[in-house]
Structure 1
Amino acid sequence: MKKTDKVITFLGNETEFEGKLKFDGTIRIDGHFKGEIFSKGNLIIGEEGLVEADMHIAYVAISGEVHGNIIAEQRVDIHAPGKVFGNIQAPVVVIDEGVIFEGNTRMYQAKDAAEKKNSVVGSDQYVGGPPPNITAIYGIVKDEATGKPLKNARISTRGPAKNNTESNGSGYYELINLKQGKWKLKVEAKGYRKQKAEVTISSEGTYEQNFSLKPKT
């Protein structure tokens, strides 16, 4: 069976499940899960998701509410309006402004990233790249003349699906959990000429695409 990066919704809104969860690939929880989670894959918890569980995972992105301890092999992202009540152990924890986090963090070195620094950072400063076990396009948006990173540059896509984002305070952006195929990217920033690029995703992995924007004259 061919492996894909399709996000599979495990629990939809207003659904509940209690037990032990093991899976490969990527799943999304928008309902209520209670129990234990163990996986080498990726977990996405939507804004309506409520998870009461200790978990050992590769990567988790949290926009909902989690009660339990988290061990992540690659990275933990907590997006607003996410809430986490428990301890986190991971190489990198990225926290948006406006989230609630009550617990402790313990950092350790990722097995396949010996030169990366362990850190808890705000999402506005993160430049570390996406977790290596997901399919993603990432890069830096900067001013062509000065090399200064550009914040809030809008990255929009056309391709197998729509997936838009903005660059952070370090000029960094990432588009994760992408399908295979041709992705056309367009970057726009106030006071700069827009720029386009095309990235072909032919297999799992991360694809770097940087942008240097020219100021409008």
Structure 2
Amino acid sequence: MSRNNDVQPTAVNLICDGTSIKGDVQASRDIRIDGYLNGKMQVNGKVVVGNTGKIEGDINCKTIDVSGRVEGNIIASEMVNLKSTALILGNIATDKISVEPGAKFTGSCKMGEAAPAKDEKKK
């Protein structure tokens, strides 16, 4: 069987603690950041920002779990999970959000595309 046909459904990209990357990142699979990234992220799967992870830049993904620090806007088409150690400095747009006690979030949150329009009609 050709190596090009082998699929690793559980493969995850990993940026380890102590690693710094400057530039935009595009990934078709899940990615975990335990190091530092200065740039935008476009991920077709799940993003995990570990306790030691720090991202300075906007993130666009399906789902994201944040235990570390994100300084930028997050657009997640499915779900945002903010763990108790998370620090978010930026806006969030998502379908669903989960915030554990202790998580810090400075910015606005928009859930679903119809939510603002409904609020405006009630006024």
Which interval holds the TM-score relative to the shorter structure? 0.7 to 0.9
* Identity within the alignment, %: 28
Please say if 1:56 is aligned against 2:60. yes
Give the Cα separation in 1 of the matches to 2:11 and 2:44: 15
Matched residue, 2:48: 44
**Pair member with larger Rg:** 1
Q: 5 Å matches for 1:129-140? A: none
Structure of higher RCO (CA pairs closer than 8 Å, 6+ residues apart): 2
Superposition TM-score, scaled by structure 2 size: 0.83
Partner SS for 1:51: strand
- What is the aligned-residue RMSD (CA, Å)? 1.3
Matched residue, 2:34: 30
Q: 5 Å matches for 1:42-191? A: 42-108=46-112
**Normalized per residue, which structure has more helix?**
2
Please say if 1:2 is aligned against 2:7. yes
Q: Which amino acid aligns with 2:56?
A: E
Q: Which runs of 4+ in 1 moved over 6 A?
A: none
Superposition TM-score, scaled by structure 1 size: 0.48
Structure 2: any 5+ residue segments left out of the alignment? 1-5, 116-123
Contact 2:30 2:44 in 1 (8 A): no
Q: Which amino acid aligns with 1:16?
A: S
Instruction: Provide the aligned length of Structure 1 versus Structure 2.
Output: 109
Matched residue, 2:119: none
Give the Cα separation in 2 of the matches to 1:80 and 1:14: 23
Partner SS for 1:91: strand
Q: Which amino acid aligns with 2:72?
A: G
